[in-house]
Structure 1
Amino acid sequence: MTPQFDYITRRRFNFIELIIHWEGRLTTNHLQKHFAISRSSASNIIQDYIQFYPQSLRYNSSLKGYEATKDFSPCLIDLDLTAYLKLANQGEDTLTWQQFTWLSSPLISIEPHKIRGVLRALNQGLRVDVGYASVSSPEFESRIISPHNLIFDGMRWHVRAYCEKNSGFRDFVLTRFNGECEFEGGAQYDQSHDTLWQTQLTVVIEPDPRLTPERAHIIALDHQMTKQPNGRYQRKITVRAALLLYLLKQLHLDSYQTKPEAQQIILSPTCLEALKPYMAW
């Protein structure tokens, strides 16, 4: 069980794990620069971490720093590379290198006044009457919704909410709110009532069968697929049914390419059949 740390301690230990996990070497200089602290304070933080996780780090004199032992297992961090790159992007000289480029979505900028009411509704469990425009209804019209989650699909922000007009849960693009809203009391529906949100699906991807074995192997490496007993490469991804279409778009599985080199991956035939009820575009 992970100990319950206060905010400051958790932030420091999180930093230690990110550095060790991705760079393989931790020095007091890492902490000094990132937290603007003295060498002795940085050393004390490392020793505090080792006290909680005594088998995780060891000092390597040849490296002039700490390295992970074979028993090191990060407990506090997201193991995705994105978390490390975000940390590297905070301030000057956060880490020992800055040779990466972060391509942000050009569509994620949201005007605060458009969603303040939605954010309050999320925080306080409220129904909110908002003006909303869609492609099918381009004129702003009143919608009474009960939001329960914000979603970033890789390009745009959405809010998942119960819509009283449609008598069901829908996703609303945040940029399409006009910011004028009224609160209508407590929400009667939350995420526990959202069947698609509560339903977990398994997405199985594999290389396009039209690819040569050599190219299929490269695609398998790109997507962290493993070889199955039948000789096919596959990877399983768990996703909420409400988010399935966003995942398929990220994987470029929302359309079919005539050239296998462009398609690269497909849903396994069994998976495709199982997901069809959830794939209405």
Structure 2
Amino acid sequence: MELTEIIFAQRQRLAFIDFCLMFRGHLTRHDLLKRFQVGLSAGSRDFNLYKSLAPDNLIYDLALKRYLQTQTFRPLFEHDARKTLMKLANDISDGFDAIGDIRFPVEAPSQLNVPDIFVVARLVQAILNSKPVSIIYTSLSSGSGAREIVPHSIVDNGLRWHVRAYDRKSDAFRDFVLTRIAKATLLAGEGQPGEDKQDDHQWVRMMPLHLIPHPHNVKYPTAIEMDYGMENGRLKITVRAAMAGYLLRRWNVDCTASAGLRGPEYQLYLENRQTLYGAENLAIAPGYLADC
């Protein structure tokens, strides 16, 4: 039977099974029944039909009482990387996925590059199941090589997607650009003490940023106040320390001590510059290091 021959409602349920297996790595019959409010017999028919269409995609674990993704899994449906990341980040479902039922570790999309959907799926599985991952990664400083990471979040930094993870090679939490990951393989076991999201102090630490229209580069500050929804001439936002540099670069915020950057691109000024003390990715914050 071809997918196009299956009625829409059942095709939705099959897509849900496919999505859960690909991004979570497992699902139960109860997950399907709860999501679509169907009876036990209908759910059994859906799983049987999925197995007939993709027999090598799942296996039932009697001990865990759940269906597991197999090593030979190949998605039955096409999951577009750009659309999937946007849906995950905004908790939007089109009825063909598990979004809304599962809290996925993805935040704030905008203009995206397009990473490999299978790499994304492996990383999401690792995060949801607290698994380490072996990756082949190409960095600007050391080229291509194998690494073991323990990921905890996937993030859009305004320019590209990256995964925030503990890097066992450097013994530190780092950002890894998704499009530079050539291969991702789930490893046995779980993360070790010190590798959890709560141990990532730059991630946990929240920084208040007070942004104002640039005092020298903006002739009519009211326009900037309207652009950013400022109140009393100031925009107050809170960001993770690990993300502060990305936001300041993306918005071209002048981070010098005396608002010394000139040019029409610098329309915002960071009023409370001292808040950045201790953040680690400030090399990309406009003017901050040059003025230290």
The answer on 1:241 being equivalent to 2:241 is yes
CA contact (8 A) 2:158 2:247 kept: no
**C-alpha offsets along residues 44-95 of structure 1, whole Å, 9 cap, x if unaligned?**
xxxxxxxxxxxxxxxxxxxxxxxxxxxxxxxxxxxxxx99xx9xxx8xxxxx
The reply on whether 1:277 has 2:278 as its aligned counterpart is: yes
Q: Does 1:151 align with 2:152?
A: no
1:117 Cα deviation from its structure 2 partner? 2.8
Given that 2:132 and 2:150 are in contact with CA atoms closer than 8 Å, whether structure 1 keeps it comes out as yes
Q: Does 1:264 align with 2:267?
A: yes
SS at match of 1:185: coil
- Normalised by the size of structure 2, how large is the TM-score? 0.53
**Residues 163-198 of structure 1: CA deviation (Å, up to 9, x unaligned):** 111111111101111115351420122211111111
Q: For 1:267 and 1:166, locate their aligned partners in 2 and report how far apart those are by CA, in whole Å.
A: 32
Superposed CA deviations along residues 230-255 of structure 1, whole A, max 9, x for unmatched, are: xxx21111011111112112212278
What's 2:119 paired with? 114
Over residues 85-117 of structure 1, what are the superposed CA-to-partner deviations in whole Å (9 max), with x where a residue is unaligned? Answer: x9xxx8xxxxxxxxxxxxx6362x122233443
In the TM superposition, residue 274 of structure 1 has moved relative to its aligned partner by: 2.5
Aligned residue among 199, 206, 224 for 2:212 = 206
1:152 Cα deviation after fit? 1.2
Report the equivalent of 1:5. none
Decide whether the 8 Å contact of 1:131 with 1:181 is kept in 2.
Answer: no
Q: Which consecutive unaligned segments of at least 5 residues does structure 1 have?
A: 1-81, 91-103, 228-232
SS at match of 1:154: coil
Deviation of the 1:210 alpha carbon: 1.3
Counterpart for residue 123 of structure 1 = 128
C-alpha distance in structure 2 between counterparts of 1:165 and 1:238, whole Å: 31
Q: Greater CA radius of gyration, 1 or 2?
A: 1
Q: Distance in 1 between matches of 2:170 and 2:177?
A: 16
Q: C-alpha root-mean-square deviation of aligned residues, in Å? A: 3.2
Change (3 A) 1:245 1:119: same
Where structure 2 has 5 or more consecutive residues not aligned to the other structure, the ranges are 1-85, 95-109, 285-292
In 1, the alpha carbon distance for the partners of 2:222 and 2:122 equals 49
Task: Find the aligned partners of 1:254 and 1:149 in 2 and give their Cα distance.
Answer: 28
Whichever residue aligns with residue 152 of structure 2, its letter is H
SS of aligned partner of 2:210: strand
Q: Does the 8 Å CA contact 1:115/1:177 hold for their aligned counterparts?
A: no
Q: Matches of 1:241 and 1:148 in 2, distance apart?
A: 16
State the Cα distance separating 1:123 from its structure 2 match.
Answer: 1.9
Percent of aligned pairs sharing the same letter? 31
